[in-house]
Amino acid sequence: MKESTNLIALKQSNTLVSICVDASMHEVYLNESFYSIAKQTEKPDVLVLCPSDTSDADLSKIEAIIKSPTINLVEKDEKGAPISKEDKAEEPINYTIVKIDDEGFGAIFNTVYRTAKSNDYEFFMIVEHDDVLAFNWIKTALSFAEEDSNTSIFFPLIRFIESGTFSKYMNEATWAEGFAEEAGKADINLLNRFNCLNILGALLRVSDLDEYRLEKKEEDSLMKDNIGIGHYYEFFLRMIYNDIKTLTVPRVGYELRMSPQESFNHNSTKIPSNITVIPKEKGGISGEHAKYNMDSAKKEYFFDYQRDTKPYQYPNEQQEA
């Protein structure tokens, strides 16, 4: 990764939003993502992460979208017939593009955390490139953070859209009657029963989490990157076990979009519903592999360092001596 300290000269906010973009980007969704960031009532700084092999042509496309994100709005004409109208976000986005070699969401999360820490940001947030933020989400989350200085992670209610259709809300379990010990706040008993929190769109307070960074790592890290898809589940278990306070803000702040995939990029947190039928060489994993990762998360959160854990081995793979 390039040196992150160059953000100092561009810093205009105490909140850093990161979005990882790769060659598989859906340009319509990418426009909508950056449009939702440009329209925030409280403007963040934006760190755009791209794989190191991103071509100059793709970088140019990405920059063009960031500078003028455009969406299609459906309106009605005088006769009530629907018409499509383009709308460009006029508000500029304060952004930096950085190429990275990181592989896997855990490594990417740690890169964003280190960048936020080294540039003295108070908060950071992760967004995926085909999702959108509610226009007032950052302002709303910051207002809750200002009123509640003892809480370190503020989750949005997430609208989960599957194949273009609303499916459910996420992060809502802490508000369900009889689930959490305190309404809206996650606890270790709840998380051990249910993997019910999603990290996307969450506002994270840098200084509080920094207290529990991993020991025995060469670089500052918060998330263990050797647990496969159990990465952020183990992170939340460990943080709450160490008495980090969380709150699910009772506002819809994020729209997460999913659809069946032919491949899975492990830089993403969004596990496709068909991941068990995706070929292994395209990022798919078996149900047993997924369970192994989640079970590992429940075993590893007691440790404040990243242990050398044995990776999952498929039955037909040669066992280690």
Residue 212 sits in a domain whose CATH number is 3.90.550.10
pLDDT tens-digit map of 255-264: 999 988 888 8
Confidence (pLDDT) at 261 = 82
Report yes or no on 116 lying in a domain.
Answer: yes
Report yes or no on 62 lying in a domain.
Answer: yes
**pLDDT band (50, 70, 90) for residue 140:** very high
141 pLDDT more than 70: yes
Report yes or no on 315 lying in a domain.
Answer: no
Confidence (pLDDT) at 179 = 93
State the average pLDDT for the chain.
90
Q: Rounded to two decimals, what is the model's pTM? A: 0.92
In degrees to the nearest 10, what's the CA dihedral of 298, 304, 216, 231?
40
Structural domain for 53, as ranges: 13-73+87-300
Distance of CA 55 to the CA centre of its chain: 24
* Domain total of the chain: 1
Angle at 122 between CA 118 and CA 123, to 5 degrees: 100
Confidence (pLDDT) at 252 = 98
Report yes or no on 243 lying in a domain.
Answer: yes
5 pLDDT more than 50: no
pLDDT tens-digit map of 79-136: 767 777 889 998 999 999 999 986 889 999 999 999 999 999 999 999 999 999 999 9
171 pLDDT more than 90: yes
321 pLDDT more than 60: no
Confidence (pLDDT) at 9 = 63
Report yes or no on 175 lying in a domain.
Answer: yes
Report yes or no on 79 lying in a domain.
Answer: no
Q: How far is CA 239 from CA 183, 208, 220, 245, 275, in A?
A: 18, 10, 16, 8, 28
- The set of residues, in sequence order, having a beta carbon less than 8 Å from that of 280 and lying 6+ positions away, is 314
Report yes or no on 7 lying in a domain.
Answer: no
Q: What token pair was written down for 14?
A: 């105490």
Least confident residue range of 67-81, 107-121, 170-184, 187-201: 67-81
Report yes or no on 316 lying in a domain.
Answer: no
Confidence (pLDDT) at 249 = 98
